[in-house]
Each structure stands twice: as C-alpha cells, then as structure tokens.
Amino acid sequence: MTKILAILSEYGYWGEELLGPLVAFDEHGYQTVFATPTGKRAHALPPSLDPGYIDPPLGRSVTTPEVAVAARELDESSRLDNPLSLEQWIPDRPYQSEPEPLRKTEDYYRELAKLDTDIEQYDALVIVGGSGPIVDLANNGRLHELILAFVRADKPILALCYGVAALAFARDWEDRVSILRGKHVTGHCKEYDYKDGTGFLGVDFNMGPPPYPLEYILRDATGPDGRYHGNVGKETSVIVDFPYVTARSTPDSFLGGGKLVEVLESGLRRYGW
C-alpha cells in the first residue's frame, strides 16, 4: 500500500489544502499518516471552513459550501488525532555554545542517520499550507532534516501555499544552498498576500501582513537557473519539477494532490512549465 506522510502546522492549516490532496489519496487507496511539530493535534483555520469568508486579495469567497462541509467533517473527525511528533522523532541540532559541542554534534548525526531508514515506509511527503506553517514549519530544523531525507531517497514532496517555504529553507549545513536551487516552483505570490489580517490559531494578536513575502524567497532560492512561477490571474498554479510538486494556494489543492498521484502512479516528472 502506498503510504503518505503529511505534515500539519499546530497554528492552523487551511481546510481545503489538506482536503484536496487527501481526497486524491483516499480515492487511490493510499494510507496517510499525519505529523505535527510537537505531536499536538492540528486544526483548520476558521476562515477556511466558512464559505462566506471573502478573501481580501481576491475579493471573493475561496471556499465552496461543499468544500466547507467536507473540510469541517475532516477537521472534526478522528483521522487527525494522535499525530506523530517531529520533536520526539527527529533530534535537535545542538548549539555550538553547549558543553562538549563536538561530542553532541557527533551524537546528533548518529541519531539523524536513522531517519533514512525510518522513511523507507513512506512513498511521499506532503507539507500542508495555510498561515500556520509560517510559524512552526517554515524554519523548523527537524522538518528540514525530514525533507532532506526524502530528497536523498528520491521520493516526491508536495508542498502547498506557505508550506513551500519549508522547501526553500531546507539545505545542507555544509553549503547552505537551498534544495530548490535550479528548480521551477510556485507558491503564494505577492499579489495574493494579505495587507492585514494574517492570523494563527492559539494567538491573540493580528500579525498584519505575512512576516515574509514567500514569492521573493522562492525567487531567490531557485537561483538563476531555476524559476518561480506566480501565474497571477490564472485560476490554478501547480508546478511539478521532480521531486517537488508545489501548489500556489487554496484553488490548487485538488490539482496538487492529483499531480502527486500522477508522480507516484505514472512517473510524472514535469508539469506546468
């Protein structure tokens, strides 16, 4: 059985950005295992479950009544209970200021090496989007190491919306070059960013605009030989440049999940550019 590992933020995921891929996986009989940074159960961002919510940059609702119902049922189901904990699974890189840093670094790499064996049971990795990933996924060192393990194993990775940032920041500590260097990707473009109102679960303040422009990060990460594709004005934007499948935002969730299935079932290596 094909087995997918899906990473969710504990600060809120966008309902459709989990639902879309999961529908495709379920239709093909895949098993999906969920994980969060600390093992806390993930929840959908409330606006993503409200078909009456008007997305400010687009000036319209981005959630149909049917998707809202299905996403709410998923969010309230037991499927997301008891996720794996990245904190308990993957070691934390020690500070160089700690006592005996060399011994601790050696221990770190010894434990980290087990990750290559751990992921043999999974066929693909999914990083679900929403505003939450800005907080606890984008610069999560444990998630970066997990991503690098999937890259070493030549296994596909689907990242959606702000989840794509984790790919941009995943890099080997020897050269510090993004794994997206030379690749074609999409992700949340500047035109579709909020000017105000970025929200996260579990906090009581309005972040305002997103704390970083994902488009600029992706343009820099892909370098002169790669390219960021915003596809502004186009209804969907999904790019496949194996091993990466990247999806711009909410409308790309079902297409993104479908393209990952094509990668797994038909050997798709390039799409959308």
- Give the contacts of 244 (CB within 8 A, at least 6 positions apart): 156, 157, 159, 167, 180, 183, 185
Write down the CATH superfamily of domain 3-271.
Class I glutamine amidotransferase (GATase) domain (3.40.50.880)
pLDDT of residue 155: 98
pLDDT in tens, 140-192: 999 999 999 999 999 999 999 999 999 999 999 999 999 999 999 999 999 99
Query: Do 4 and 25 touch, CB atoms closer than 8 A?
Result: yes
Residue 268: helix, strand or coil by DSSP? coil
Q: What is the largest distance, in Å, between two alpha-carbon atoms of the chain?
A: 57
Percent of the chain with pLDDT over 70: 100
Read off the pLDDT of each residue in 75-87 and give the average, rounded to a whole number. 98
In 82-161, where does DSSP find H-type helix?
A: 86-89, 101-112, 114-118, 132-136, 141-152
Whether pLDDT at 204 is above 90: no
Query: Do 89 and 118 touch, CB atoms closer than 8 A?
Result: yes
Strand 270-271 vs strand 238-241: parallel, antiparallel, or unpaired? antiparallel
Instruction: State if pTM tops 0.75.
Output: yes
pLDDT of residue 94: 96
pLDDT in tens, 11-29: 999 999 999 999 999 999 9
Read off the pLDDT of each residue in 71-86 and give the average, rounded to a whole number. 98
Query: What distance in Å separates the CA atoms of residue 169 and residue 176, rounded to the nearest whole number?
Result: 9
- Give the contacts of 14 (CB within 8 A, at least 6 positions apart): 44, 45, 48, 128, 129, 130, 131, 161, 250
Query: What distance in Å separates the CA atoms of residue 124 and residue 107, rounded to the nearest whole number?
Result: 27
pLDDT band, very low/low/confident/very high, at 205 (cuts 50, 70, 90): confident
Percent of the chain with pLDDT over 90: 98
Please report, for the chain, the start and end positions of each structural domain, with discontinuous segments joined by +.
3-271
Query: What distance in Å separates the CA atoms of residue 13 and residue 11, rounded to the nearest whole number?
Result: 7
Read off the pLDDT of each residue in 78-96 and give the average, rounded to a whole number. 97
Task: Work out the burial of residue 168: count CB atoms within 10 Å of its CB; fewer than 13 is exposed, 13-18 middle, 19 or more buried.
Answer: buried
Whether pLDDT at 63 is above 90: yes
Q: Which residues are 158's β-sheet partners? A: 126, 245
pLDDT of residue 143: 98
Whether pLDDT at 215 is above 90: yes
Read off the pLDDT of each residue in 102-131 and give the average, rounded to a whole number. 97
In 137-252, where does DSSP find H-type helix?
A: 141-152, 165-169, 214-222
Whether pLDDT at 77 is above 90: yes
Tokens at residue 14, please? Answer: 């966008």
Question: Which of 37-46, 52-61, 81-90 shows the lowest per-residue confidence on average (mean pLDDT)?
Answer: 52-61
